[in-house]
Amino acid sequence: MTKYYDIDDIITEEEIVSVIFQKAASGVGIDPSSENDYIETGSKVELPFWLAHELQLRQVVSINIPSCFDQKTRLEIQADCASVDLRSRCPFFYEFGCKIAPVVGDRTIGFLLLSAFKNRYKELLTKAHTAAFSAATKIWSILTNEEINLYEAAQSSMASFKKWRIGGPRFQKAPVLGRKRNQLNNYSLNLSGVFDKKELLGFYEYLISPLSLRGVTSINSAYYFNYS
């Protein structure tokens, strides 16, 4: 019950699964194919997961495996994990899989999730730590929400490291007030200090890709252009 107020948990449970009603239900307008409010036994309905789960506990419905865990996805994950577009299948792929696994009775979902996550995490880790800000959108579209959290954590830790290295100001405008100015204020580059690229990059020489080099220089020049 620790997740009662958790927003991600609520959105995860809203995913739609298809169920088959084992018993009839009357007085509900959930099944659009029937004329009146009566749902017959054996009718196939699409329900959100929170409803389907509770009804299955009371043995009113039986849940089928949702389409995001079907054979096609499994083959794609086996082939090349890192480029599979999990976001379009289900934005909360891993969470949803964890919830579905005990309910549907399919023992292979756990292994599928684990292998998918292990392979994607390798890619995610390198890209999150080295990618420039402009390159983020390409990988962003195929990540699930849990992976995006990890990605953002890595980016923020990189930003804090750079800030510590350069020695930016400790106080900044509170993020809840929104960004009235351009994005650069959040990174607070030192006005009079020299941004010594080589000194910083020496530490990351084995990780830095050409893209991030370009990103770093663009920040440097744009800051001076935008300074009023």
Partner 1 sequence: MRESRSTEFLAVDFEFPTKSPATTEIQRSRFLHSSLRFLLLIFFFRIFLFKFSIAAIDSLHQGQAVPICHPVLIGYFYAHNLLGQFSLSLKLFAKGCFFRNCKMYGRKACQLVKELASGEKGQLTPFNSDLFEQVVAECSQHHLELQSLIRKMQEEGLDVQTTRNAEHHGALIHHLSLVRNKRCLMAYVYNRAEAIQSLLWKIGHVLPQEIEEKLCHAEAEYFKKHSAALKSYMSKVQLDLTVDMVPPKDPYIQVRVLDDIGDGIVLSDDKTANFARHSMHFLKRTDAEQFISRGLMEELTG
Residues that bind partner 1 (CB under 8 A): 4-8, 10-11, 14, 16, 23-30, 32-33, 37-38, 46-48, 50-51, 54-55, 58, 60, 67, 88, 152, 167-178, 180, 190-193
Comparing CB distances to partner 1, the nearer of 67 and 157 is 67
Token output for 224: 């001076």
Q: Could you tell me how many residues make up the chain?
A: 228
Token output for 177: 């007030």
> What's the min distance (Å) between Cβ of 172 and partner 1?
7
C-alpha angle 202-203-206 in degrees, rounded to nearest 5:
85
Comparing CB distances to partner 1, the nearer of 103 and 211 is 103
Comparing CB distances to partner 1, the nearer of 48 and 110 is 48
> What's the min distance (Å) between Cβ of 56 and partner 1?
12
- Write b or e for each residue in 203-222: b if 16 or more Cβ atoms lie within 10 A of its Cβ, otherwise e: eeeeebeeebeebbeebeee
> What's the min distance (Å) between Cβ of 191 and partner 1?
7
Contact indicator for 56, 103 with CB cutoff of 8 Å: yes
Comparing CB distances to partner 1, the nearer of 38 and 126 is 38
> What's the min distance (Å) between Cβ of 185 and partner 1?
9
Dist. CA 205–CA 208, nearest whole Å? 6
Dist. CA 35–CA 48, nearest whole Å? 21
Token output for 134: 């402009």
Contact indicator for 124, 94 with CB cutoff of 8 Å: no
> What's the min distance (Å) between Cβ of 33 and partner 1?
8
Comparing CB distances to partner 1, the nearer of 52 and 132 is 52
Using N-to-C axis directions, what is the helix angle for 93-104 and 145-166, rounded to 10°? 150
